[in-house]
Structure 1
Amino acid sequence: MIGVRDKALGLAFASACALGSAHAAEWRFRVLLDGVAIGEHRFSVTRAEGERQVVTEADFVVKFLGIPVYRYRHQASESWRGDCVTQLAAFTDDDGKVSRVRARAADDGRLDVSVNGASRSLPGCTMTFAYWNPALRQQTLLLNPQSGAPERVRVHRLGDAALDVRGEPVVAQHWRIEGPAAPLDVWYSAQGDWIGLDATVAGGRRLSYRLQ
């Protein structure tokens, strides 16, 4: 492919650093709706002694003729041991519809989940939609941190393609997550690092994440 780089952008760990026995990585994605920038979604993962701490922040504003017509905010903090979530606290304001999700690993090995006060239990080793974690591709059940709902999914690989990242075309692996909602197309570098996402949202519009 002429003009396509395959450098993996120095790993999709956009700013990775080693701090003694701890390792930190951050992804900052520019979010676009039908090609127009509407905000940013940031993910940071800190790993030490077999545990991960994950912090997520998103802030989108959709405008029409310069007037805000839709606002989305999401914040989440997750604790992981291996590939299993052990604790979650998430807040989402989806244009005025607010949800608060909490989860904690129970003594019996299950994951107790509370959504605006209503509770349910899930299998103990449950993952969220952690696109940064390669183990996501082997999952059949994922926890939605916005709704607190468990979602049955099928993850499979499609053909490789060129993806524009930081103004450069990059050879990208194309994976698709199919579930109860519209499919999610997730993009990874040749080394397997997360670099992008595409989804169809309400009204058939295209939501895209591109690594900054």
Structure 2
Amino acid sequence: MNSIRKILGPGLLATLLAVSLGSAARADQTWDFRVFLDDKEIGTHRFDLIEQGAERQLTSQARMKVKVLFLNAYTYDHHDVEHWDGECLNTLSSKTDDNGEKHRIEVKRANRETIVKRLEGPGKGVQWLGECVMTFAYWNPAMLQQTRLLNSQNGDYVDVKITDAGLDSIDVRGVKTPARRYELRSFKLSIDLWYSEQKEWLALESKTERGPKLIYKLK
């Protein structure tokens, strides 16, 4: 277990999977990803969006399993439901089993504040943030303009720097597709994101501390 955690890096999955639409997105969208550690498939991560005017509901479900010598060395299960008003998070409820370590987070926006409650897991307690907060909403083009993002697994509010790295191309469902790449960096994260010309999220890659890449590919 410890060796797998070292490969993935402390808190990497916690942040990568804390994802939670911007004006470019359509109602009732789904992003359904296969997840790889380098070339080894380790699970899935699916996002389902329901949009009604400015109100949005996003459901995120991730399941991953890393095997070593046919044994389950690492498992991850994350479920997250978010409600948004425009680009501001209204409520969030998440549960995570990170290889036996349990996390449970509740978030509510009220009275010009965003209240984050850590109900289970390390650092249990309450914190008060600003009126308009965004999670690691990779599917939302507005996220690319943010300097701080909320981790929906553990409630951390993370400083980030996001840079437009220019035009690129990437394989999407077996087709080479024009895209624009963005680099998201923070103290422990190095994430590359690809978007179509219409600003729809296409792919993700993240370098881990020991070398392997965590890769999201659309089904």
TM-score above 0.5, yes or no: yes
After TM superposition, list the pairs within 5 Å mapping 1:170-185 onto structure 2.
170-185=177-192
Greater alpha carbon shift after TM alignment, 129-138 vs 180-189? 180-189
Structure 2: give runs of 5+ residues left out of the alignment: 1-20
Q: Which residue of 1 aligns with 2:42?
A: 38
Deviations 1:110-147 (A, max 9, x none): 10001124100111100001111110011111100011
- Larger Rg over CA atoms: 1
Match of 1:201 in 2: 208
Q: CA deviation at 1:202?
A: 4.5
The 1-side partners of 2:76 and 2:52 are apart by: 32
TM normalised by structure 2 equals 0.83
Q: Which amino acid aligns with 2:73?
A: V
Give the alignment's TM-score, normalised by structure 1.
Answer: 0.86
Alignment-derived partner of residue 72 in structure 2: 68
- 1:114 corresponds in structure 2 to 117
For the aligned residues, what is the CA RMSD? 1.5
- Please point out which of 55, 72, 84 is paired with 1:80: 84
**SS at 2:139 equivalent:** coil
Aligned to 1:142: 149
Counterpart residue identity of residue 184, structure 1: I
Does the residue aligned with 2:142 lie in a helix, a strand or coil? helix
What residue in structure 2 maps to residue 166 of structure 1?
A: 173
SS at match of 1:137: helix
Partner of 1:29: 33
**Greater displacement, 73-82 / 187-196:** 187-196
Percentage of pairs with the same residue:
37
Please report how far the alpha carbon of residue 66 of structure 1 lies from its aligned counterpart in structure 2 after TM superposition. 2.1
Q: 2:156 corresponds to which letter in structure 1?
A: A
> CA–CA distance in 2 between the matches of 1:190 and 1:90?
31
Structure 1 residue identity aligned to 2:197: A
Q: What is the aligned partner in structure 1 of residue 96 from structure 2?
A: 92
SS at match of 1:135: helix
Secondary structure in structure 2 of the residue aligned to 1:147: coil
Deviates more, 1:51-60 or 1:183-192: 183-192
- Length, aligned pairs only: 191
